[in-house]
Amino acid sequence: MKIFHCTLSLGRSDTIFVESSSKAKLLSFFNTVSEAVVRNIKEIVFSKDYNINYKPYEYIPESTYSKVIVQALSQNYSQTYVLHHIKKSVTEEELKKQFKKLVIKNEAIIDFVTIQFYDEGVSPIDPDNLYQVQYKRNSKTYTENFYGNSWQDIRDLAISLIDGEVTEIRKFVHHDSTIKKDTGSNYFKSCSFTLDNSEMYRTYKIPKVKHNIPHDVLVEHFANAFTLKGKSPKKDEIYIKYN
């Protein structure tokens, strides 16, 4: 069985997973039936979902670097890698050892220009003066984070530099870098809280709601925390669905 991840593009990009005996047959099909450009086809060579070359292993979350930038050299080429979620336990020596197993084009990596560890933990580490810009480009939504003195400065920068429609700017007001292991128990997968009155109907889906909170207490907590058009909702306007 061969599974392929295919990306087709025409204005926007769409990805699909398909099974086929060959890349050639897929290309022939897409080029025959679709106006979209077949941007890329990737054969899945390792997959938990499809049980391809997969062996179970224990994943335990730990602290990470915000990013690590590696500039590597082969005999005739260079390559820059921007890595995210690299474990804090990884040393420069271990990183070099693993990268020397790789190639740039068809040449082995033999040296490094620079290796930079951005020691920010779970990004962002400091929410003061930090903003997130959301923008849309070719029907896709992207976000970038910037530090600045005001949202107006952030907006001006984004509109001037980014090729996309700036649709939202968010100011960070809280950040917690705690890493907590998911036990998979003692909570509902999610709860849907619906506020319903003569003026508005709105539903919020809250994940991992604790089992041990009585229904009436949960309603009270919600009523104290949320507002509806600036007013605290009445308890009889709150409906909860446990998932």
Query: Per-residue pLDDT for 124 more than 50?
Result: no
Report the distance separating Cα 196 and Cα 238, nearest Å.
7
Phi and psi, residue 35, nearest 5°: -80, -15
pLDDT of the residue at 231? 81
Please state the separation of Cα 186 from the chain's center in Å.
Answer: 26
* Percent of the chain surpassing pLDDT 70: 95
* pTM reported for the whole predicted model: 0.58
Report the distance separating Cα 44 and Cα 15, nearest Å.
13
Average pLDDT of the segment spanning 224-233: 82
Average pLDDT of the segment spanning 105-121: 87
Asked if residues 96 and 108 have their Cβ atoms less than 8 Å apart, the reply is no
Q: Which helix (H) or strand (E) holds 53?
A: none
How confident is the prediction for the chain on average, in pLDDT? 88
pLDDT tens-digit map of 184-220: 788 898 999 998 887 778 898 999 999 999 999 999 9
Of the candidates 229, 231, 224, 221, the one whose C-alpha atom is nearest the C-alpha of residue 200 is: 229
State both tokens at 194: 């619906």
